[in-house]
A and B are shown apart, each in its own frame.
Chain A
Amino acid sequence: MAYDAVLDGTPADPAPISAQPSEPASASLLWRLAGPLCGIAVGAAVVGLAQTIALPAIEGQFSPRWWPQVSGAAIILFSLAAAVRALPADAPMEELEARQPGGVGRILASLGAVAAYGALWHWLDFRIVTVLLVAGLVAISGGRGWAGLVVFPVVVTTVLWVLFSLLLRVPV
């Protein structure tokens, strides 16, 4: 649910107008603070990671940790300010296109296909795995029929092969 809310920008299941007013209000506050809170978490992670940087044997005027710490602190500072700014109920919010049903599934399936492509590339020829990847991505995105699932993958793979392998001599 929280994942949906983050990706959507609005509650995943908008409450009907007749619902209790407190529910949408609290969801809205959570959503308004989601960005700044993520920012604070990222900033804290950067500052934490900076502490793991090894110090040189001969210390200079500035430690290698200095700049990462400054960057992390800046992220926390500005995210905190953004959180304070987002607290009022009438705080301005960015307009986002609403998430559509199946959208998250499409993304996860596409990322899965890319991961499988990366794994298979080590075992199979580039041309074979690329045809499979293109056909898979077309299918995930809603394409059907022999033109989309056979001809298009072969054409795209041929273009990639000619351009990168033959012309640019990239060892694909």
Chain B
Amino acid sequence: MSAVVEGLTQLSDPVVLLCILIGALAGMLVGAFPGITATMAVALASAFTLTMEPVQGLAVLLTIYVAANFGDRVPAILVNTPGTPASIATTFDGYPLARQGKAGLALTTSAFGAAFGTFAGLLVLIFAAIPLSRVALNFGPAEIFALVVFGLTMIVSVAGSNLLKGLAAAGFGLALSTVGRDPIVGTERMTFGVLELSDGLPFIAVIIGLFGIADVLDQMLTHHAATAKPIQSFGRWMPNRTERRKMWKPMAIGSGVGAVVGAVPAAGGDIAGLTAWSVSRRSSEHPEEYGKGSLEGLTAGDTASNATLGPSVSTTLALGVPGDSVMAVLMGSLVIWGFNPGPGLFAAQPDLVYTIAGIMVIATVLTFGLSLLRMRGVTKLLELPPHYLWTVVIVFCLVGTYAVNNSTVDVLVMIVFGVVGLFMRRLGFPPGPVVLGLILGSMAEANLRRALEIGGISNVLTSPIAVGFLLVALASVALPPLLRSWKTHRAGRRHTHTVNH
């Protein structure tokens, strides 16, 4: 109990609260600009915070981390461009909702989901950090490969109406993931001698191209001044009682998925959001609405990606293994401040867990409040004439992508994938599975090869965790069509029976 009191007492310093406010404003700004990731912002802020007191510095960095995960939903909903990779799933339903004149409702619902997810994740940090981290510590190549296979089954949901084209697109994503060095022997693959591609395709540039630039190009192609209908009304802002009731189930799914995915090292909000969107769709009474403006889909994705924050911090602190890329950057600052993330940290400084949880709770409350306040101003973006909106999106994507690595190759990759994304849209290939293949491809290949080279196929089949994931993956692919077929068969028999009668 004294650790709790000690930890929370650290937050009574007004300077810490000021740091949280600065972090919230900076984080939301960072999240709202496509191309500027939370990782980049935390890395840059680290340079300024190293001279501060550890708790003050942590307040700035952790609040940027939290706030960026609220701000990144805004461009995802308004201009179909994820502010950070964690809001990819937001574009699936958020943008269609905005196009239906429900941008206000989408932004509010997203903020509620994100806040709920963050609090759920923080509960994991406070109560289940050590047990969850122990489970994640047991993940070897076989288990991670099985987890990735489970992740790949999401293609079934993300593919939309044409599963075959979705699967082909996922194959394209897997092929893209092979660009760079071979994960086992280090041989260069498909880099065409370009040094910048040795570490693989720049992920952020690819997703900004496939989603943001491709959408602007598509609008340029199809826009007609006479038929275009500028959005005059943003509709309701607050969800009604029926909608609020519907949000509980996807919020529960999102929280569960985010908690598990967040605890696994190197798996972040992007994977959690996509997984939760997919799981929620499978369990929904209206799966056909997903991808077309479903509030349930929007809530599930946003809850899950934010629910990874707490578990990700837990994994970083308890194991010394970064839960995601932001945590990898944060670990550097922690070490400089004299903290040593790892199993010993909880024993030596248990109060730190509660200080961190306290900072994140305050950051979430503050950012949630700011999210609701600023929305009316932000949605005015939709009223911009297309020539302003297209220009702003293109220019910010250009400079933002350059800023990630200070690389013109990244910008070129973004433009190329913008054009590729346009052709994919016009040819009926969904871009979602490409991203999924790109995210999971290298993890799948590296871990499968390691697992097979260590102990052959039995290495995978004798692991209860791996087998569990594989069975769930198999069930999630096979069960929906089997159930549909069974229902059709049953309905047909009923119909025949009625006619005969």
Stretch in A11-19, A20-28, A137-145 touching the partner: A137-145
- List, in ascending order, chain B residues with CB within 8 A of A43's CB: 168, 171
**CA–CA, A96 to B398, complex, Å?**
27
Q: Which residue of A lies closest to B184 (CB)?
A: A60
Do B388 and A81 have beta carbons less than 8 Å apart?
Answer: no
**Centre residue among B168, B184, B422, B425 by max chain A CB count within 10 A:** B168
What DSSP secondary structure best describes chain B's contact surface? helix
Taking a contact as CB atoms under 8 Å apart, the answer to whether A7 and B399 are in contact is: no
B170: A residues at CB distance < 8 A? 74
Residues of the A chain whose Cβ atoms lie less than 8 Å from the Cβ of B225: 142
Specify which chain A residues have a CB less than 8 angstroms from the CB of B486 in the assembled complex: none
> Does B220 lie within 8 Å of A107, measured CB to CB?
yes
**A90 within 8 A of partner (CB):** no
Q: Which of B44, B399, B445 contacts A67 (CB 8 A)?
A: B445
Closest chain-A Cβ to B160's Cβ sits at a distance in Å of: 9
User: Is A172 an interface position by the 8 A CB rule?
Assistant: yes
Give the number of chain B interface residues (Cβ < 8 Å).
67
Residue-wise interface mask of B (58-78) relative to A, using a CB-CB cutoff of 8 A (1 in contact, 0 not): 000000000000000000000
- Whether A141 pairs with B391 at a CB distance below 8 angstroms is yes
| Alpha-carbon gap, A39 to B403, bound state (A) | 33
Q: Write out the residue numbers on chain B whose beta carbons fall within 8 Å of the beta carbon of A156.
A: 391-392, 395
**Given A142-B225, A168-B36, are A72 and B175 neighbors across the interface (CB < 8 Å)?**
yes
- Contact flags A99-132 to B (C-beta < 8 A → 1, else 0): 1100110110011001001100000000000100
Q: Which among B112-120, B186-194, B369-377 touches the partner chain?
A: B186-194
Do A35 and B427 form a contact, CB below 8 Å, given A68-B178, A107-B221?
Answer: yes
Q: Mark B218-239, 1 if CB is under 8 A from A, else 0.
A: 1011111100000000000000
| Chain A residue contacts of B177, Cβ below 8 A | 71
Query: In the complex the two chains form, what is the Cα distance from A53 to B185 in whole Å?
Result: 12
Kindly report which residue of chain B lies nearest to residue A139, judged by CB atoms.
Answer: B387
| Nearest CB in chain B to that of A144: its residue | B387
Flag whether B107 is at the interface (Cβ < 8 A): no
How far, in whole Å, are A53 and B182 apart by their CA atoms in the complex? 10
Is there a chain A Cβ closer than 8 Å to B419's Cβ?
yes
- In the bound complex, residues from chain A placing their C-beta under 8 Å from that of B452 are 61-62
- Binary contact track A35-74/B, C-beta < 8 Å → 1, others 0: 1101100110010011001111000111010011011101
| A138-B387, A164-B399 known; A39+B221 contact, CB < 8 A | no
Residues of A within 8 A of B390 (CB): 110, 137, 141
A130 to B188, CA, bound (A): 36
Q: What distance in Å separates the Cβ of A103 from its nearest Cβ neighbour in chain B?
A: 4
Q: In angstroms, how far is the closest chain A Cβ from the Cβ of B189?
A: 5
Chain B proximity of A52: nearest CB distance (Å): 8
Which of A6, A55, A106, A130 has the most chain B CB atoms closer than 10 A to its own CB? A106
Which residues of chain B from 158 to 196 have any CB-CB distance to chain A below 8 Å in the complex?
161-162, 164-165, 167-168, 170-172, 174-175, 177-178, 182, 184-185, 187-190
**Which residues in window 375-417 of B have CB below 8 A to A?**
385-388, 390-392, 394-396, 398-399, 402-403, 406, 408, 411-412, 415
Per the bound structure, the CA–CA distance linking A70 and B425 in Å amounts to 24
CA distance A169 to B41 in the complex (A): 11
Pairwise interchain contact B168-A78, C-beta atoms closer than 8 A:
yes
Q: Using Cβ atoms and an 8 Å threshold, which residues of chain B touch A103?
A: 220-223
| CB <8 Å contact, B182 and A6 | no
Distance of A122 from chain B, by nearest CB (Å): 9
| The residue from B220, B388, B429 contacting A138, defined by CB atoms under 8 A apart | B388
> In the complex, which residue of chain A has the Cβ closest to the Cβ of B173?
A71
Taking A141-B387, A148-B387, A163-B33 as known contacts, 12 extra A-B pairs with beta carbons closer than 8 A to each other, sorted by chain A number, are: A7-B426, A67-B174, A71-B178, A75-B172, A96-B425, A100-B221, A100-B223, A107-B217, A133-B395, A138-B388, A142-B225, A168-B40
The 7 closest A-B pairs by CB, nearest first: A141-B387, A74-B171, A35-B427, A103-B221, A143-B387, A71-B175, A78-B168
Task: Name 16 A/B residue pairs within 8 A (Cβ), A-sorted.
Answer: A35-B428, A53-B190, A61-B452, A67-B174, A68-B175, A71-B174, A72-B175, A81-B164, A93-B428, A94-B162, A104-B221, A107-B220, A110-B390, A117-B398, A164-B399, A171-B406
